[in-house]
Structure 1
């Protein structure tokens, strides 16, 4: 079975996804302790986020709609991460990337975004940690 030349990106993509999810978990779990209704917001947000991420359709399908829409669409860090997973697993998938989308951008943007979210989640969790027992 042929292997993609981007398979070496797989550990990085897993790390970026872990950073992103960990930051979101720290952020929303600490807010959940104080604001109980945040769980309803998170449910709606996750459902919306699932449907706007290219899980069931490729990124080039989005580019067929509009190039301008694609620029905004790529602001979703999961769109980049899912595309990187496909590049790592599927041989020659990088050739199917829409015009104007470079694979370095698909790495740099989610890296910066994941680090910021992880730092923000850790910061909020650290600040609110002292009041957890009072709010439970």
Structure 2
């Protein structure tokens, strides 16, 4: 089964620039000319749609330029490593952007960085189970409940 996560990101970089950054920094390989592959993971990056941009602006008060789509194969033996790579990719991209929100299924907030403040959703415990967050998240952050304005 494939699980889908989306990072709505405000950045000055284009989708291909972000993919090349991920390829170089995380040693990912190209699945095709527009997607990267990692362990149990596909990564796509597209310009944010008008509707998507408006939804994020209304709910989170920032305008994303790009949407980074992570598809994780939950049936793969490499699922945990794919999960870690997705978290590393998210942290790397947030370092190269202004504001961003990582959503599961387009609605549920896993983490957000708005106005420089990184917050992990304390209600999304099963997303972080088994991950050593202290090794993956080097940016200053806090953990608290983040109810989604999109639900």
TM-score w.r.t. the length of structure 1 is: 0.29
Of Structure 1 and Structure 2, the greater strand share is in: 2
The higher-RCO structure (CA 8 Å, 6+ apart) is: 1
TM-score w.r.t. the length of structure 2 is: 0.27
Of Structure 1 and Structure 2, the greater helix share is in: 1
Instruction: Please say which structure displays the higher CA radius of gyration.
Output: 1
